[in-house]
């Protein structure tokens, strides 16, 4: 069993993600199209179980290898997303499904609060502010964690300043040339840094180019 988990870790992760998406879709279909609210909860529970299974798999692989690999980093990103921004995105999808299924059935499934929120989410100013706030929170968390990592890896403020003023170490293959204490924290920070940059640019695009935005899903 251990050998199979090690050999097919990526395939298992991808399968779990596909099943997670299917569970979310089935939750909405069963709850709103078929009207079986109790049964729909099962699919939501299965989604949570799959999320914990992914985290458990990453922990298992780490305990077997003793190293933090790209696999653990990817799963960590997915789990953190599911527990943070994923909740908001799920609510948007849920409202959108209720709108479409309600229109198809000729039944009103949205509350007045839902409609008010959906109107807000089509307002470029509201969207821009929300993404600015989320990007600043992301930046704060990223910087705090980096300060912690660097405090472990460097021994003086002069050394910190040297790394800050000369960023040529970014992307190096040798962790000894970086301010990080070990390769695992260095790799995590590089991947997270790339994600942060992409997320920050994307988030502020709603402020810089508001006229080009068409609102969110719901």
- Dihedral (CA of 149, 153, 155, 158) sign: negative
Checking 56-64 for CB contacts under 8 A at 24+ apart, the result is 57/5, 57/9, 57/12, 57/13, 57/16, 60/5, 61/5, 61/6, 61/9, 64/2, 64/6
| 196 in Cβ contact with 138 (< 8 Å) | yes
Task: Indicate if the pLDDT at residue 61 is higher than 80.
Answer: yes
Q: pLDDT value at position 104?
A: 86
Task: Indicate if the pLDDT at residue 114 is higher than 80.
Answer: yes
Q: What is the pTM of this model?
A: 0.68
Candidates 123, 121, 9, 19; CA nearest to 62 is 9
Residue 18 burial by Cβ neighbours in a 10 Å radius (0-12, 13-18, 19+): exposed
Cβ neighbours around 104 below 10 Å, total: 10
Range name among 31-35, 128-132, 139-143, 158-162 with the lowest pLDDT average: 31-35
- Cα gap 176→172, rounded to integer Å: 9
Task: Indicate if the pLDDT at residue 1 is higher than 80.
Answer: no
Query: Model confidence over 62-104: pLDDT tens digits?
Result: 888 877 777 877 888 888 888 877 888 888 888 888 888 888 8
Q: Which two tokens stand for residue 59?
A: 């922990």
Query: Model confidence over 204-216: pLDDT tens digits?
Result: 998 888 765 455 5
| 74 in Cβ contact with 64 (< 8 Å) | no
């Amino acid at each position: 069993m251990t050998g199979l988990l090690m050999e097919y870790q990526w395939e298992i992760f991808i399968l779990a993600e596909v099943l997670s998406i299917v569970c979310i879709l089935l939750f909405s279909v069963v709850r709103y199209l078929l009207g079986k609210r109790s049964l729909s909860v099962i699919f939501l529970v299965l989604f949570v179980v799959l999320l914990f299974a992914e985290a458990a798999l990453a922990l298992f692989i780490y305990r077997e290898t003793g190293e933090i690999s790209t696999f653990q980093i990817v799963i960590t990103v997915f789990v953190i997303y599911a527990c943070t921004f994923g909740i908001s995105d799920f609510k948007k999808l849920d409202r959108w499904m209720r709108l479409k299924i309600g229109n198809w059935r000729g039944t009103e499934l949205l509350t007045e609060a839902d409609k008010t929120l959906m109107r807000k989410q089509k307002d470029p100013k509201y969207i821009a502010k929300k993404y600015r706030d989320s990007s600043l929170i992301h930046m704060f968390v990223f910087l705090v964690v980096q300060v912690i990592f660097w405090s472990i890896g460097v021994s003086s403020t002069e050394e910190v300043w040297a790394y800050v003023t000369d960023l040529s170490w970014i992307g190096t293959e040798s962790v000894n040339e970086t301010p990080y204490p070990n390769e695992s924290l260095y790799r995590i920070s590089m991947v997270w840094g790339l994600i942060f940059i992409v997320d920050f640019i994307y988030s502020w695009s709603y402020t810089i180019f508001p006229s080009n935005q068409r609102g969110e899903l719901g």
